[in-house]
Amino acid sequence: MRRILLESLVNAPLTENAPSPDDAALAELAADVANTAMRRLGRSLAIRQVDAGSCNGCELEIHALNNPFYDLERFGLHFVASPRHADVLLVTGPITKNMREALIRTWDATPGPKWAIAAGDCAVSGGLFATSYACTPAHETIPISLHIPGCPPTPTALLRGLLALLAQAL
Amino acid sequence: MDILAPLLAEGCAAAAHAPWPRAEIGTEIWQRVTLHLAAGELDLLGLWGEADRMHMAVSAPESREIAVFTLACPDGRFPSVGLSHPPAIRLERTIQDLFGLIPDGAEDARHWLDHGAWGVGTPLGTPGPAPEHAYAFLPVTGENLHEIPVGPVHAGIIEPGHFRFTADGETIIRLEQRLGYVHKGTEGLMIGAPLDHAARLAGRVSGDATVAYASGFARAAEAALGIAPPPRAVHLRAVMAELERIANHIGDFGAICNDASFALMLAHCSVLRERVLRAAHLAFGHRLMMDRVVPGGLTQDITAEGLAAIASLIPAFRARLDQLAGLYDSMASLQERTVTTGFVKHDYVRRFATGGHVGRASGRNFDSRKWPGYAPYDATPFDVPLRTDGDVNARVWIRIEEIRQSLGILGHLLATLPPGPCRTTLPAPTTPVEGMALTESFRGDVLIWLRIAPDLTIERCHARDPSWFQWPLLETCVYGNIIADFPLCNKSFNCSYSGTDL
């Protein structure tokens, strides 16, 4: 234990430089995010992740944002356990009809100002499941402010999208 | 003594079903198979429906036989298997929801996947009206009991499901799961899909096991079509599968320790996991290696940089793992949480034919890479770690040992990688052909069964996740444990929601 801790002190950090915010995401957000949000939120955003039917691939990459290489919290972005604490819902999956009500209730439980991000091809457009009897489009369920495509989006792609939100919101 | 051969002989053999036989049988034989299951002489591999018939895949571990039995259901009913063999109960409730086939005599007639939200009932059978939204949880009575409903939206970054705890103070008296929230209609979308599109769907039944699913789908399709992929592709599929196994096990090892508030382990394990995913990305162009395995082989060969990255990762990973395993072993406060917590009974893993680390931590020596076995594992030396203590700690150690075995397998595969192409063309069959495969994911054995039409589209494909036979045991293993230890039990299983909700 002592040796592992000591090594961590001596070795250089693994954390990598931040990618630049996604230009497309910046443009998408420009119309959506009011400047007043900045004064309300200070310099941090609390994210509540909601899996609305994902195959769990997106969750794996969202988890990776917390590892020392990406270290999401250095940007003031952190995941919270309740929508009551959240500014942002990070929604994955093709919005299964079985999760639709839970997603709407989670959105309603989130205090404003708030944003919803559709992460991954399924949440963005339904992906492979767009024509299924069991799924429904995300934008018809809750208002979506930002789309991050990818199957699943890489941690870098997720980070670029979140940084764009941060740049606009704060 | 053969159990399945005489039963098969009494049925009508299907013409094109590979590699194991399938027979059309009547109600009487169906019930005899069920009795063998209830007596513990057979293991249930899968139970699935079509619009007008039922299929049941079973194995006889002693005589090493595997077979599929098919029962026509002209009046939309079949004798319940779950009535005498509980592992079939959730599968039957699923079949009733999707196809409208009714298990005669079943005790639990509640819906499973259908929450009354689809706007249609029995979508894959004869579509009918959607059922009521209400769901009756099992009643619990007694003094001092209280209920704790959790989910479907959980506190962490995990999949959705509902857990209904009944507790007496801190002690769990009962857990009832309600799943189905991530039902995407995958098997419905497969019907009529071209083979390559269906392979992409198969790779998203459970994203963390995408390589295992895609490989299983490919192997079932190749068995049906009677072709063999090039040796290099077979080898590289196993390279991907072992990378996937290592990445998941190390991630879960860290997460289990984190659930006991030992965050240091999560940090170090997440670094190791990231290194595996980066090597996978270099080698195959995708961090989770999605859509790389297809019927006939692979979409691309491994890159030279990727090969070097994996080769250099193996010794560094092993050294770090030894250090972290030693750390786990030396932390009494951590083991205080994991030892004797979440004990899974040996009898249950035998009856449920539970695969993966859950079965192997409770004494069930089953790994589909060994039996029925498939290439290249038949020519690859490795051991299947086995324990009998059956608690969270046992499942942690099984995972650590499996990572060590996988690192050895990777080294062997890279050293013996055959040259040549990575893909072969698929012949079009003249009549519908059927195939089946068992593939070992990090969770356990994945069953894929499919029927391919002459135009190379899917007529029916069924994917059975190992979690079907693990989720019910999670319900049983938390009795008498405190609520605060549930996350440890849950993470040590790490069942797939998407894999069973389909």
Q: Which of B157, B191, B441 to mutate to test the interface with A (most CBs of A within 10 A)?
A: B157
Using a CB–CB cutoff of 8 Å, tell me whether A147 touches chain B: no
Whether B460 contacts chain A with CB within 8 A:
no
Q: Is the CB of B271 inside 8 Å of chain A's CB atoms?
A: yes
Task: Report which of residues B354 and A112 the model is more confident about.
Answer: B354
Backbone angles phi, psi at B262, to 5 degrees: -100, 80
Average pLDDT over residues B165-181: 96
B131 touches chain A (CB under 8 A): no
Q: What is the pLDDT of residue A30?
A: 52
Between the alpha carbon of residue B100 and those of residues B51, B78, B128, B486, the distances in Å are 8, 11, 9, 35
Strand spans (E) along B73-190 = 77-79, 102-104, 145-150, 162-168, 171-178
Q: Do A129 and B184 touch (CB under 8 A)?
A: yes
Q: 27-56 in A: which are within 8 Å (CB) of B?
A: 49-56
pLDDT at B191: 97
Q: What is the mean pLDDT of residues B253-268?
A: 96
- Please give the mean pLDDT across all residues of chain B: 96
| Closest chain B residue to the Cα of A57, Cα to Cα | B207
If DSSP codes are grouped into helix, strand and coil, which group holds residue B474? helix
Q: How large is the average pLDDT for residues B336-349?
A: 97
The percent of residues in chain B predicted with pLDDT above 70, rounded, is 100
* CA–CA min distance A98, chain B (Å): 5
Of the given ranges (B137-146, B225-234, B307-316, B485-494), which has the lowest mean pLDDT? B137-146
Q: Which of residues 72-91 of A touch B (CB under 8 A)?
A: 79, 81-83
B184–chain A Cβ distance below 8 A for any pair: yes
Cβ atoms B53, B73 nearer than 8 A: yes
> What is the structure's pLDDT at A20?
78
User: B380 Cβ partners below 8 Å, 6+ apart?
Assistant: B238, B409, B412, B413
Coil, strand or helix: which one is B467? helix
B319 pLDDT above the threshold of 90: yes
A129 at B interface, C-beta within 8 A: yes
Contacts of A81 in chain B (CB under 8 A): 155-156
| B211 contact residues in A (CB cutoff 8 A) | none
pLDDT exceeds cutoff 80 at B147: yes
- Residue of chain A whose alpha carbon sits nearest to that of B329: A1
Task: Please choose, from the candidates A135, A107, A53, the residue with its C-alpha nearest in 3D space to the C-alpha of residue B117.
Answer: A135
Predicted confidence (pLDDT) per residue in B9-27, tens digit: 999 999 899 999 999 999 9
Contacts with A68 from chain B: Cβ below 8 Å: 267, 270-271
**Between chains, do A81 and B155 touch, taking CB under 8 Å as contact?**
yes
**pLDDT per position as a tens digit, B359-399:** 999 999 999 999 999 999 999 999 999 999 999 999 999 99
Pairwise CB contact (< 8 Å): A129 & B327: no
- A contacts of B157 (beta carbons < 8 Å): 49, 51, 59, 62-63, 79
- Interface contact B125, partner A, CB < 8 A: no
* Min distance A39 CA to chain B CA atoms (Å): 28
pLDDT of residue A34: 45
From the number of C-beta atoms within 10 Å of its C-beta (0-12, 13-18, 19+), residue B381 rates as exposed
pLDDT at A103 (0 to 100): 97
State whether residue B191 sits within 8 Å of chain A by CB: no
pLDDT per residue as tens digits for the range B91-127: 999 999 999 999 999 999 999 999 999 999 999 999 9
Cα–Cα dist B485/B474, whole Å = 12
In angstroms, the separation between the Cα of residue B498 and the nearest Cα of chain A is 5
Distances (CA, A) of B407 to B250, B329, B394: 12, 21, 20
Over chain A (170 residues), what is each successive 10-residue block's mean pLDDT? 84 84 67 51 84 97 95 89 95 97 97 94 96 95 95 94 77
Give the residue on B whose Cα is nearest the Cα of A8: B268
| Mutation target among A98, A107, A159 for the B interface, most CBs of B within 10 A | A98
Contact between chains at A53 and B119 (C-beta distance less than 8 A): no
Residue B88 is classified by DSSP as G
Whether B496 contacts B443, CB under 8 Å: yes
A37, A40, A107, B144 from A170: Cα distances, Å: 7, 9, 21, 50
The ipTM assigned to this model is: 0.95
Whole-model pTM: value is: 0.95
A3 contacts on B by Cβ (under 8 Å): 323
Q: Which of B184, B204, B335 to mutate to test the interface with A (most CBs of A within 10 A)?
A: B184
Q: What is the pLDDT of residues B407-463, one digit of tens each?
A: 999 999 999 999 999 999 999 999 999 999 999 999 999 999 999 999 999 999 999
| Residue among B182, B277, B327 whose CB faces A96 most closely | B182
A93 part of contact set with chain B, CB < 8 Å: yes
Q: What is the mean pLDDT of residues B293-314?
A: 97
Assess B120–A contact: CB distance below 8 Å, yes or no: yes
